[in-house]
Each structure stands twice: as C-alpha cells, then as structure tokens.
C-alpha cells in the first residue's frame, strides 16, 4: 500500500488497483485498522474491502464488533442530533489502542430519540444490532435472505451487486406504519443503490419524512450523492448520512483470477465433537418464534427461529433482557473452553448473539462468521483472504458457504453457533473442511433444538 496523508493506492493481487482519496475521517481512524483488500469472485464487482472490525471474514476480538456500533451511534448523535456525548473520546481511544476490555453496556442515546433501525443482511446484521443497542428507546430488525413459510415480507428490495440479491423483511406492519425516523445500517456504501432501493420500497407503502443512512465506509461518487439528492426531491424526504470514513475511489485494471484449485485431500485429524442445545439448558432466556423456513429448493424445515435476533422485530425492553441472557450463556460456555486460544464462529445471518456471547467468554477469544461471499484466496501479506474453506450451507445445501482466515493450528478449540439445529449429515461437510485448520476440539452450539408447534 502506498499513501499520502489522504490518498492511498491499494493493490489487489498486483493486477487490480483501487485508489482511494479520504475526504472525511472525523475520528482519525487508521485505515489499516479498518480493512484489507481482496479479489471477489463476482462478475458484478471484482474486489472487496474486507473489514477487520465486523467479525465476518476476518477474526476479531468480539468486543471490537460491539465497540464499532457504539462509535457509529456516537457519530449519529453528532451528525443527526447535533449532540456531543461525554464518551466520545473514550470510545475513540479504546478503538485506536485496541483496548476494548471495557465497553459501554448501557445505552447512551436518550429516550426522546425513537427511530426504527434496520440492519442489512447478511454482513451488517451484527453491526446493525451493535449500533441499535446504544438506544434507550428504539426498535430494530434486520433484513433476511431466508424464506419464511406462511409470512409475507412487508417490504422487499434488491442488492444488485451482491451474489444473493433479494432482501425480505418479516416484521409486523405497525413497526413501519408510522412517521418515525428510519435508520438504515450497512457496513459500506459504494454506490448507494441498495439504500435507494430500500428507501423506495418503504416510502411506497409507509411514507415518512426522514431517513438516515449509517455505514462505516462511504465511497459514493458525486454522481451517486446527486442521486440521493434527486431521491429526496422526488419523494419529499430528508436523507442524512453518517459514516466513520468517507472518500472517493478509482478502480483500474482487473484481477487475473485463475479458477482456484480445490484441494481434494483432507488431512487426517481426530476431532472431538460435542453438542450443546441452549433452549434445553436455558429455556427461559430466549424466545422461540414458531415459523418454519423453506430452502431454495423448496424443502421445509420445521425448527423455530429466535425472536432476539431481530429478524422479526426487537424492542429495547427485550434487547435489555438479551444482554443479561447472553452473559448467563457465556458464563456456561466459558467453562467448556479447552485452551487459551478459542474461535467462536457465527453462521450466516446469525452473527450478533454469538458475537455478544463471545465478548463475555474471557481472554483469548476470536470471533468471526461464515459467509455467502466467494472471495479469491491468496496467502500473502495485507490480503484479506489468506485461507478459505468452502462447504454447503448446513441449513440449505443448495447454497455455498465459506469461512476465511482460519490458519492451521492457531486455535485450541472452536464453538460454532447455529440459530437452529441441523443434522449430523448436514454438518459433515463443514466439519470435514475444518480438519484443514487442525482444530481438534469442536463444540456445536444450537440455540433452538425443538420443532415448530403445529
């Protein structure tokens, strides 16, 4: 990476270069703490800013994932509400010094501010929730790629550049049928088209006056920003933007990606596999939602979801209860650790609850999640996907999933968190792939193990 005080040249596999010009960095965050670059196996977009703070593709201290939500919430107070909070300097210092042993447990945004907050699946489900947990009085839900049997999505929209484009929203209409501010949370805005799509979808059914768009990175061009202004004029709304880093980028070249060779030989590793079912151990702590899902090939799965994920809507009272529940669950799981270096792995959209639990499980914890994103793997310095595992989604074998950046021999044990139980057969490809990482002690944590009540 070459740079000036505000300009950076970011090579991607030495064939593609992304030049960025930083226009706003209000907290003076070092960009090498925010992301690395990688090539994307996607014809719609050939590169990816691989976040080092989300806990998706790169393992993080789980408290960092909580902290970044608080930084964004603090920036929201400054930009949208015109308030300067007393914890601003402490938040910035904690992030800059990577000293996140303590972070804000209690909300700091007052009860008079009462928005509806929406996180974007799948990457920003945890970020949206981490942002939301700083509000005393708000509602939250995240969009989903899931198909729920018997429920109609109140709004739908598309994410054109994504490998999985359709977003659904399974919440009660009353959550949107009002004039409250809607805050949309995503990790990154490149063109803003996804945000424009959801604003159009909401406004067509549930018109209101104000939207706020929150993202860690904002790379919109002048043309993209003008499109937002045109949308404001067209719909008669105000759209404010909040970010931690704003800039412009210019892309030249293209990554000369060869079809990656898929290793066929799996090392012989003796794995100790144990299963933990949370709703049996802590039946009062979490709330099952008795809805079945339908896979991409039409197969119905009759296992409940969790209310507390936010997929079906979440209020501040239930979210406060969730903080206590995650501490209890974390204390139990921490006793099951078998080494000093532990990886906690969320799955797909199920990110925030595993991340929150992980943050209470002691030192030596890394957190990340599986993903749908196909990224080209290349093991060299300052590249965002040095290792990669590929396997069919245990919940839906028609969908490929990946997990990146698990080096061999790094972790003593692994906790894999699933919102809903899956069978041993459905798990076997993932467990087989994990042998490449030489993790011998694996705990499978299912949060819902029962069946939907008919």
Least confident of 3-17, 119-133, 163-177, 361-375: 3-17
In a domain, 208, yes or no: no
Band of residue 181 on the pLDDT scale cut at 50, 70, 90: very high
What is the chain's mean pLDDT, rounded? 92
* Residue 264: predicted pLDDT: 66
Residue 322 or 261, more confident: 322
Q: CA dist 107 to 92, 104, 309, 344, Å?
A: 17, 7, 18, 25
Domain count, the chain: 1
In a domain, 62, yes or no: no
Total residues found in the chain within this entry: 454
Decide: helix, strand or coil at residue 187. Answer: strand
CATH of the domain at 410: 3.40.50
Q: What pTM, to 2 d.p., does this model score?
A: 0.95
Give me 24's structure tokens.
């706003």
In a domain, 354, yes or no: yes
* Helix (H), strand (E), coil (C) string for 379-394: CCCCECCCCEEEEEEC
Residues 102-155 have pLDDT tens digits of 556 789 999 999 999 999 999 999 999 999 999 999 999 999 999 999 999 999
Least confident of 121-135, 167-181, 224-238, 245-259: 245-259
* Residue 151: predicted pLDDT: 93
Q: Residue 163: pLDDT above 50?
A: no
In a domain, 418, yes or no: yes
Q: Residue 453: pLDDT above 80?
A: no
Exposure class string for 385-400: b at 16+ Cβ within 10 A, else e: bbbbbbbebbbbbebe
Residue 109 or 45, more confident: 109
Q: At what angle do helices 352-359 and 62-76 cross, to 10 degrees?
A: 110
Least confident of 176-190, 309-323, 342-356, 369-383: 369-383
In a domain, 426, yes or no: yes
Please state, for a pLDDT cut of 90, what percent of the chain lies above it. Answer: 79
In a domain, 98, yes or no: no
**Spatial strand order in the sheet of 293-294:** 147-148, 293-294, 300-301
Closest CA to 56 of 238, 247, 216, 266: 216
Backbone angles phi, psi at 42, to 5 degrees: -160, 120
Structural domain range at position 402: 272-308+315-448
Band of residue 252 on the pLDDT scale cut at 50, 70, 90: confident
In a domain, 356, yes or no: yes
Q: Residue 330: pLDDT above 60?
A: yes
In a domain, 251, yes or no: no
């Amino acid at each position: 990476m070459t740079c000036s005080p505000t300009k950076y040249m970011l090579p991607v596999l030495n064939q593609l270069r992304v030049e960025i010009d930083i226009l706003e960095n209000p907290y003076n965050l070092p960009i090498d703490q925010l992301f690395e670059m990688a090539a994307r196996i996607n014809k719609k977009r050939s590169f990816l800013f691989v976040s080092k703070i989300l806990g998706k593709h790169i393992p993080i201290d789980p408290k960092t994932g909580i902290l970044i939500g608080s930084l964004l919430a603090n920036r929201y107070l400054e930009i949208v509400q015109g308030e300067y909070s007393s914890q601003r300097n402490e938040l910035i210092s904690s992030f800059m010094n990577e000293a996140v042993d303590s972070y804000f447990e209690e909300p700091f945004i007052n009860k008079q501010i009462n928005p509806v907050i929406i996180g974007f699946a799948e990457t920003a489900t945890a970020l949206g929730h981490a942002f939301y947990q700083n509000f005393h009085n708000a509602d939250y839900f995240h969009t989903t790629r899931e198909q729920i049997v018997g429920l109609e999505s109140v709004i739908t929209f598309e994410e054109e550049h994504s490998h999985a484009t359709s977003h659904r929203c399974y919440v009660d209409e009353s959550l949107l049928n009002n004039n409250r501010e809607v805050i949309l949370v995503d990790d990154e805005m490149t063109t803003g088209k996804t945000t424009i799509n959801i604003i159009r979808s909401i406004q067509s059914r549930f018109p209101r006056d104000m939207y706020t768009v929150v993202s860690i990175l904002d790379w919109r061009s002048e043309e993209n920003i003008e499109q937002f202004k045109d949308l404001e004029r067209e719909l008669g709304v105000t759209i404010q933007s909040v970010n931690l880093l704003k800039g412009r980028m210019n892309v030249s070249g293209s990554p000369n990606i060869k079809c990656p060779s898929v290793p066929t030989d799996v090392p012989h590793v003796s794995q100790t596999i144990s299963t933990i079912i949370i709703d049996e151990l802590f039946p009062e702590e979490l709330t099952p939602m008795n809805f079945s899902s339908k896979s991409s090939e039409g197969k119905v799965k009759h296992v409940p979801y969790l209310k507390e994920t936010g997929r079906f809507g979440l209020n501040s009272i239930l979210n406060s209860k969730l903080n206590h529940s995650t501490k209890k669950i974390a204390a139990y799981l921490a006793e099951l650790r078998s080494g000093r270096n532990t990886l906690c792995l969320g799955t797909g959209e199920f990110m925030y609850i595993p991340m929150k639990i992980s943050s209470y499980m002691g030192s030596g914890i890394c957190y990340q999640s599986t993903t749908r994103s196909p990224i080209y793997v290349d093991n060299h310095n300052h590249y965002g996907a040095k290792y990669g595992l590929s396997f069919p989604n245990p919940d839906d074998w028609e969908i490929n999933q990946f997990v990146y950046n698990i080096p061999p021999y790094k972790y003593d044990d692994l906790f894999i968190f699933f919102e809903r139980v899956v069978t041993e057969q459905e798990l076997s490809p993932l467990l087989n792939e994990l042998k490449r990482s030489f993790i011998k002690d694996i705990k499978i944590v299912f949060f819902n193990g029962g069946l939907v009540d008919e």
